[in-house]
Amino acid sequence: MSESSVLRVGLLGFGTVGSSFAEVLAASGREDILITRIFNRGVERKRSHERAKFLQPEVQWIEQAEGVIEAADVDVVVELIGGLDPVGGWLRAALKVGKHVVTANKQLIAYRGPELFDVAAKANVQLLYGAAVAGGVPVIPGVAQGLGGDEITRVSGIVNGTCNFILSSMEAGADYGEVLANAQRAGYAEANPSADVDGVDARAKLCILTRLALRAEINPDEVPAQTISAVAAVDFAYAKELGCTIRQVSRSQKHGDKVQARVGPMLVPTTSPIAWSHGTQNMVVTKGRFGGDVVFSGHGAGGHPTAVAVMSDVLAIAQGSAAVRLPTKHAEVSGEVSAPYYLRFIVADEPGIVAAIAGVLAKHHINIDSILQHRGHESERLPFVVTTEPCSSAVLEEAIAEMGAMPFMLEPPLALQILVVDDKDTD
């Protein structure tokens, strides 16, 4: 903190979140927090942008990140650019020279968090990242501080607002391609949406939550992630018949000395709180040994919700609050789960298909729970569904590969885990 008791903020990035942070700060009326410098490429364009009206006229616009990191009139660096490099090097340098850091960068915290936390501790400064998971929903401080006294055995939920917007819109009858285009126009999805729809974004957030909740360091690259792009309207119709909907679920839990972790679309019973989340909402559910289930819910996408989390971190630094750092240890990831599954097939109809599929499942010792087939589909492209009793995910993958090679299959079979609401930590 400067001698004048004003916390001077240097912004790295003045995009959607950066400009929203400036707006939130201006609306707060606080005179003890001041944006002094902003790094952004193309500063003339940003300086003349309509949202620059929320800034003090004396703010300095910088085209080199070092102009913020090394500046004497910056006490805290707020990073809102994203990515691993060169941002990781910038923040490491800022911490080393004694500047606090606030970031919304989930990839950086997921992959390099422990290293940066150590640098911050040695420099006696704060590294806060409340905006890295679930936007404006206070999951990070809630788990670290509010639940720090419990032994959390599982964390699960919806941590990608884009996927939740797409899937909940499809639940209401919209087409995947149409909804994705709408999400891109609304700014919820990038021009290249793969990080969202393929689970890369949610996987990084799950690793951060696993570190905090289960106190386990896991490698994001080891966490299985399944795309939502293969989910179709017909799947929601069958899910409804099974008393479920479909959501992208991120889930990790302790399993001996390993962590079972997975991200992907799952059938979620409508009795589960996770099924109630719509639009860009995020929801995280923790299961504690002593405190039971705790639910965090709210808007997880967009500039304003994320800026609220950033502002909260800056306020914590301004008020001298000490971050909670819980002990963690490295854990291997196990993608192996025993769970019931939903299998959807698209076939060219001919006699013996059900018997052939049942034969493969029996060969792999997988029991069928139900077979569903709706009327009204053309026999040249016929969808039908098989649900299984709990089985090994590894064994199921072998069966799916064998069934996918059958000549009547028109598409690769879709396998979705069915979330069990009351599983007593046995899955």
List, for residues 285-320, the tens digit of each pLDDT value.
999 999 999 999 998 767 899 999 999 999 999 999
Q: 264 and 398 share a domain?
A: no
Q: Tell me if the pTM is above 0.75.
A: yes
Q: Is 219 helix (H, G, I), strand (E, B) or coil?
A: coil
CA-CA distance, 149 to 351, in Å (whole number)? 59
Domain residues for the domain of 18 are 7-128
pLDDT of residue 284: 97
Determine the number of helices (DSSP H) and then strands (DSSP E) in the chain. 14, 20
Residue 351 lies in a domain: yes
Active site residues: 205
List, for residues 361-409, the tens digit of each pLDDT value.
999 999 999 999 998 888 899 999 999 999 999 999 999 999 999 999 9
Q: 177 and 280 share a domain?
A: yes
pLDDT of residue 4: 61
CA-CA distance, 93 to 85, in Å (whole number)? 13
Q: Per the structure, how many domains does the chain have? A: 3
Q: 292 and 147 share a domain?
A: yes
Per-residue tokens: 279? 């639009």
- What is the chain's mean pLDDT, rounded? 94
Asked if 126 and 151 touch (Cβ cutoff 8 Å), the reply is: no
List, for residues 107-145, the tens digit of each pLDDT value.
999 999 999 999 999 999 999 999 999 988 999 999 999
List, for residues 335-351, the tens digit of each pLDDT value.
888 999 999 999 999 99
Half-sphere CA count of 415, side-chain side, radius 13 A: 20
Q: 279 and 150 share a domain?
A: yes
Q: Is 158 helix (H, G, I), strand (E, B) or coil?
A: strand
Residue 252 lies in a domain: yes
Q: 158 and 261 share a domain?
A: yes
Domain CATH number, residue 231: 3.30.360.10
Per-residue tokens: 181? 């285009």
Residue 427 has pLDDT above 70, yes or no: no
List, for residues 213-233, the tens digit of each pLDDT value.
999 999 999 999 999 999 999
